[in-house]
Structure 1
Amino acid sequence: MTSPHLRARPVDLIPAVLCSTFVAFFLVQILTFDYGRDQGIYAVVARSIVDGGMPYRDAWDFKPPGIFVLYAIARVLFGANEWGIRLLECIFIAAMGICLVRWARAVFAPKLSGYFAIALAVLIHAQLDFWHTAQPESFGGALTIFGLCTAPLFPTADGRSPTRPLLRWFLAGVFFGMAGLLKPQLAFGGGLLVLLPCAARLLRNVPFLQAFAMPKDGPGEWRALFAACLGTVAPVALCVLWFAAKGALKDAYEVLFVFTPHYTKLSWEGQNPLVLAYHGVVDWFTGYSALVPLGVSLLLLFAHRLSSRERGAALAISLLISLHLAGVVAQAKFFSYHYGATWPLTGLLVGLGFALLWDQAVKASRLWIAAFVVGIPLICCARSAIRGVPLSFYQRTMFRTQALLSGGLPTEVRDVLATVDDVNASANRQVAQFLRDAGGTRPVFIWGFEPVIYEWANRPASTRYIYNVPQRAAWLQQTMRERLMADLTANPPEFIVIERRDALPSVTGNYVDSSGAIKDFPELRELIERRYKPAFSHEDFMVLKEVPAP
């Protein structure tokens, strides 16, 4: 049965306004998020870019280059502060929300699908809190939605091809290509979408695939595929040219195609691919929000009410989600932020399910409307995406809200909210304050995994290795240690900060912390013993100061 497109109803303002208010509230919450460990890394690399340096060559990390560029843009636009990247993140989310609402209104008969979609996406995003947001996936998810909304997937209402379809496929490819510079698997979204019109031509007996069939006045499937692929390649090619022009292409290749595969391989040792795939799918479906399995179940329950166009759209969204989940499983670490790009797409499916339920409630009675408005928020409480941080999501939200209403977040509250596992924001800030108070402009060296100290202390690093994972990891260790010592010899640090209790087996492949790693690094140990003495100690940090030459 084909669903008629519903006319605007005054009662629809209730969920639309509630969802919009909900999104606005949590965007303000996101603005208060501080840096986690990863955000500190990205900020320090971005600082190097703004100062004329290059990722990998002048500031070392193993993430794709897109995230560093975004942090550099935030730094140029909003200054060297922690809220700058959060503001850029909120701008991306707000633009994504507008796209979701408009695209859903154009494709789905239940006009509220987009509102429910962005509400779910922002809820999970906010619940991920400071560590798992402002990540590559956070921006990659928005770019994926921009690509989906730009692609001319469907003919117009009169059966004609949309205006300038080749240009739109090219631009969609550009968005997916930019997403690929944040997370490689996201780059394939444009090509995947073009395969749907190809499938419509080959499988003419599948009704909902015919929703993608290109009209006779269209450009043709192969030309559309070429345009999408060309668009995808364009930002990647520009990035390669940038690195080549700066003489950093070799460094990028070594990090992304030599070091990073060994890092990924760690999680696959002794693992069953089917078990990993099962874990990835179940974690996405049930691990972050009770609304996801409920919304998808509602979509399946009301599937008979969907038109061929709506079923085709649901298929396109599902294929993109599958592509994202394949990338998560390939990494096999299942960090919360690895799913970050998937929630806006998931929101479209879930939002369609809840929009169909809302239509049923409106047709039933005011009591059902009230039950919907009250029941959905209660279901939200059944499962939270927040993991590993002190206090519950509700408590953390109340702390932030109360602090904002009273004029801002005190440093002590911010540090509590930004502390998790072995990362102590207060300790990092104390060490940074000591280095800042010491004065001078000479570089410092942090032998640990807290490069945010460079940022907070406003001191340059004496080496490209802004944290010591390359020297602690089992692969390429000797080469990375030799390069580190060459950097320290050429640019001696005034202070060396040594960290303890920062063992990261999922990253380094062993349980040795930074302090322990010095024991089997004789060159660094000899340099420290010969030229440095203790100057300050706090929590897990020991700060050593260079001894003046006799």
Structure 2
Amino acid sequence: MNDSPSPEPPVASIDVPQAERPADRWSWLDWALLIAAAAVVFARLRLLDLPLERDEGEYAYGAQLLRHGGMLYRDLHSMKWPGIYAAYAAILGVGGENRTAIHAGLLVLNCATAAGLFLFARTLVDRTCALFAAVMFMVLSVLPVMHGIIANAEHFSMLFPMFGLWRLSLGLQTRSAINIFIAGTLVGLGPVMKQHAIVFVVLGGVETLLLPWTGVATSIKSRLTRAAIYSAGVFLVWGIMLLAIWRHGALSEFWLWTVQYPREYTSQIPVIAAPVNFFYSAVPILWITWPVCLLALVGLIYTLRSGAAEHRFWSLGLLLAGIVAICPGFYFREHYFLLLAPAMAFLSALGVQALRREMVLPDHPHDYSVANTIGLVAIFLPLLFQGKLLFLDSSRAVSRTLYGLNPFVESPDVAAYLSRVMPPDAKLVIFGSEPQIAFESQRRLATGHVYMYPLMEIHPLAATMQRQMIDEVTAARPEFAVVATTRTSWLPRPNSEPFLADWMGRFLRDYDPVGVVTTQTFENSESTFSEDGTPLPNPAAAVGEHPNYVMIYRRKPTR
């Protein structure tokens, strides 16, 4: 096996005749793709101040804990591996602890992921189609219908695998052990951000074992050796992660929250309900992305019929990986579909490549304007379909459209009030799944339970979790309490364990209401705060008949 640096491999194309032009000349197609990419960047810049939703709040609060000496899994009970919190901590370290920094970080990360996909595609197709893939990815991953404007963990889980697959493709073409090892470390970082990205690890392993290398016969021993080198890179990353958690004394909590609880979490939805959940999310996404899906279908069919073996392996592998990634637990949440974006972008680029081969004008054999125009239409139509949210609506309106009456729009007001009246070292408890309030108020929670959902689910750990939260809050004696009444902040079941609800009523007897934010309509909410921290004279009147509100309580002085 040759570990020395190897020359760059020749780019494997899909055998489309190319009219090469000087590298310093930009065609109309280059400018059109640049405009599409600029439109995506503009949309993200315009929505930098988008209110945080609860997943972003969780990651930001976890990052805040890391930056100020807290410990994941002990001070924050989460089933995510620690990479997403470390990534958020890096963003907050550069841009400050605010939502604008988070969304600016997402913009940079998204562009970097597109660059990784471009480099990967460039090892397989020509420059133009690699650009198509990169820009198509940027478009797909910004669409509000897939919550692409939200800094969800899916965005972070694709960054390193895209660069890893690029290095793996080069490593397999050049038989470079160093590249294959580097690929393993990069792809291994994907699940550290979110476990769903383990599909990219499996994809890399399968490609390492099965992918033919430039048409040269390869022995089983050589393939197993390369697979071992790739696996060594993956397990090195995971081993370092586990070692760090063990050294901080949180390995048992890590095991509980990332292994034991996920088994319960992914068993909540019966298989019979999976099709309903899938269509509930997939149909709106398909309604927006159908031009991309059609072009990707063309690329898939053409590649299966006429493409090189390398194209078939990678395109099918990416597609299957994306499909598997959206399935855990049969939740099919909108942002899970982001993990299909690399496959759809790459397949759509192959679709453009196929059209360029089949739609050549007899008198102009190097004129691909028809095929290129079809590709551009597929890129711009989804942006047009979602143009109101991306380019016109206010950040508040976008949040309301995506999340309805969830109190994300109201959370900055609640957090700002808490920042004004709470001492910096005072503890806070939030009864509801609204960790973004803790992050934006920059106050420490009295419990590691930032979501109420695990406590409301039906599984053997729920009662233990409820009692744990009660014990943590009782021991911390928080100065302030926040209660979110929106049903989606709790998702209670008819047979949820009752301990927490019963105890919460008794607990709040020792607290006075000092503030309330009421969600009255999609457009309007009303805030009433006691700026000196004294009890509100008539909190019931402030709430009125509106069922969705956030009430803020302060512990009575004598308690």
The two structures share one fold, judged by TM-score above 0.5: yes
Describe the SS at the equivalent of 1:126.
coil
Letter in 2 for 1:503: T
| Displacement of 1:302 | 4.4
What corresponds to 1:123 in structure 2?
Answer: 139
RMSD: 3.5
Q: Does 1:534 align with 2:513?
A: yes
| Displacement of 1:238 | 0.9
Post-superposition Cα deviations, 1:356-407, rounded to whole Å, max 9, x if no partner, equal: 324655646799866556655555576679xxxxxx721122226xxxxxxx
Q: Distance in 2 between matches of 1:64 and 1:96?
A: 20
What corresponds to 1:55 in structure 2?
Answer: 72
Superposition TM-score, scaled by structure 2 size:
0.80
Q: Does 1:189 align with 2:200?
A: yes
What corresponds to 1:22 in structure 2?
Answer: 36
What corresponds to 1:483 in structure 2?
Answer: 468
Post-superposition Cα deviations, 1:231-280, rounded to whole Å, max 9, x if no partner, equal: 111111111111101111111111111222211111235447xx589869
- After superposition, the Cα gap between the structure-2 partners of 1:285 and 1:28, relative to the gap in structure 1 and judged at 3 Å, is closer
Gaps of 5+ in 1: 201-208, 386-391, 401-412
| Displacement of 1:121 | 1.1
| Displacement of 1:148 | 1.0
What corresponds to 1:356 in structure 2?
Answer: 354
Whether the 8 Å contact between 1:140 and 1:179 is mirrored in structure 2 is yes
Whether the 8 Å contact between 2:40 and 2:139 is mirrored in structure 1 is yes
Q: Distance in 2 between matches of 1:118 and 1:219?
A: 36
Q: Which moved more, 1:222-231 or 1:292-301?
A: 292-301
- After superposition, the Cα gap between the structure-2 partners of 1:438 and 1:189, relative to the gap in structure 1 and judged at 3 Å, is closer
What are the equivalent positions in structure 2 for 1:434-453 lying under 5 Å apart? 434-441=417-424, 442-453=426-437
Letter in 1 for 2:505: R
| Displacement of 1:45 | 1.0
Q: Does 1:83 align with 2:100?
A: yes
Describe the SS at the equivalent of 1:510.
coil
Q: Does 1:114 align with 2:126?
A: no
Q: Distance in 1 between matches of 2:499 and 2:229?
A: 55
Q: Distance in 1 between matches of 2:492 and 2:267?
A: 10
Describe the SS at the equivalent of 1:143.
helix
What corresponds to 1:242 in structure 2?
Answer: 244
Q: Distance in 2 between matches of 1:443 and 1:418?
A: 28
Whether the 8 Å contact between 2:295 and 2:378 is mirrored in structure 1 is no
Q: Distance in 2 between matches of 1:319 and 1:134?
A: 26
What corresponds to 1:295 in structure 2?
Answer: 295
Q: Distance in 1 between matches of 2:195 and 2:215?
A: 26
Q: Distance in 1 between matches of 2:479 and 2:266?
A: 35
Describe the SS at the equivalent of 1:265.
coil
What are the equivalent positions in structure 2 for 1:80-479 lying under 5 Å apart? 80-108=97-125, 110-128=126-144, 131-132=147-148, 133-152=150-169, 161-162=174-175, 165-196=176-207, 198-199=209-210, 209=212, 211=214, 213=216, 220-268=222-270, 270-271=272-273, 275=275, 286=286, 289-300=289-300, 302-303=302-303, 306=306, 308=308, 311-358=309-356, 363=361, 376=375, 378-379=377-378, 393-399=386-392, 413-419=394-400, 420-441=403-424, 442-475=426-459, 476-479=461-464
- After superposition, the Cα gap between the structure-2 partners of 1:504 and 1:167, relative to the gap in structure 1 and judged at 3 Å, is same
Q: Distance in 2 between matches of 1:353 and 1:461?
A: 51
Whether the 8 Å contact between 2:191 and 2:197 is mirrored in structure 1 is yes
| Displacement of 1:304 | 8.6
Q: Which moved more, 1:492-501 or 1:425-434?
A: 425-434
Q: Distance in 2 between matches of 1:333 and 1:315?
A: 28
| Displacement of 1:48 | 0.6
Describe the SS at the equivalent of 1:536.
strand
Describe the SS at the equivalent of 2:515.
strand
What corresponds to 2:527 in structure 1?
Answer: none
Q: Does 1:543 align with 2:528?
A: no
Whether the 8 Å contact between 2:297 and 2:351 is mirrored in structure 1 is yes
Q: Distance in 1 between matches of 2:413 and 2:14?
A: 63
Q: Distance in 2 between matches of 1:473 and 1:83?
A: 33
Whether the 8 Å contact between 1:446 and 1:498 is mirrored in structure 2 is yes
Describe the SS at the equivalent of 1:220.
helix
Q: Distance in 2 between matches of 1:434 and 1:96?
A: 37
Describe the SS at the equivalent of 1:340.
helix
- After superposition, the Cα gap between the structure-2 partners of 1:350 and 1:542, relative to the gap in structure 1 and judged at 3 Å, is same
Describe the SS at the equivalent of 1:535.
strand
Post-superposition Cα deviations, 1:71-120, rounded to whole Å, max 9, x if no partner, equal: 11111222212132333333333233333333333322x43111111121
Describe the SS at the equivalent of 1:493.
coil
| Displacement of 1:416 | 2.6
Whether the 8 Å contact between 2:139 and 2:382 is mirrored in structure 1 is no
| Displacement of 1:47 | 0.6
- After superposition, the Cα gap between the structure-2 partners of 1:496 and 1:221, relative to the gap in structure 1 and judged at 3 Å, is same
Post-superposition Cα deviations, 1:140-186, rounded to whole Å, max 9, x if no partner, equal: 22222111101046765xxxx44xx1111111111121102123343
Post-superposition Cα deviations, 1:433-463, rounded to whole Å, max 9, x if no partner, equal: 2212214221121101111111222222122
Q: Does 1:3 align with 2:19?
A: no
Q: Distance in 2 between matches of 1:321 and 1:43?
A: 31
Q: Distance in 1 between matches of 2:381 and 2:42?
A: 23
What corresponds to 2:532 in structure 1?
Answer: none
Post-superposition Cα deviations, 1:334-356, rounded to whole Å, max 9, x if no partner, equal: 11111212212321111121133
Q: Distance in 2 between matches of 1:129 and 1:292?
A: 14
Letter in 2 for 1:491: A
Gaps of 5+ in 2: 1-12, 519-548
Letter in 1 for 2:131: Y
Describe the SS at the equivalent of 2:513.
strand
Q: Distance in 1 between matches of 2:352 and 2:111?
A: 21
Q: Distance in 2 between matches of 1:429 and 1:198?
A: 51
Describe the SS at the equivalent of 1:342.
helix
Q: Distance in 2 between matches of 1:55 and 1:490?
A: 19
Describe the SS at the equivalent of 2:267.
helix
Q: Between Structure 1 and Structure 2, how many residues are aligned?
A: 506
- After superposition, the Cα gap between the structure-2 partners of 1:96 and 1:155, relative to the gap in structure 1 and judged at 3 Å, is same
| Displacement of 1:40 | 0.9
What are the equivalent positions in structure 2 for 1:481-520 lying under 5 Å apart? 481-503=466-488, 510=493
Q: Distance in 2 between matches of 1:188 and 1:107?
A: 21
Q: Distance in 1 between matches of 2:504 and 2:98?
A: 33
Describe the SS at the equivalent of 1:466.
coil
| Displacement of 1:486 | 2.1
Whether the 8 Å contact between 2:199 and 2:322 is mirrored in structure 1 is no
Letter in 2 for 1:468: M
- After superposition, the Cα gap between the structure-2 partners of 1:188 and 1:37, relative to the gap in structure 1 and judged at 3 Å, is closer
Whether the 8 Å contact between 1:299 and 1:350 is mirrored in structure 2 is yes
| Displacement of 1:227 | 0.8
Q: Distance in 2 between matches of 1:12 and 1:345?
A: 27
Q: Distance in 2 between matches of 1:471 and 1:399?
A: 39
| Displacement of 1:287 | 5.4
Whether the 8 Å contact between 2:406 and 2:489 is mirrored in structure 1 is no
Post-superposition Cα deviations, 1:191-228, rounded to whole Å, max 9, x if no partner, equal: 5434345436xxxxxxxx56465668x99211111011
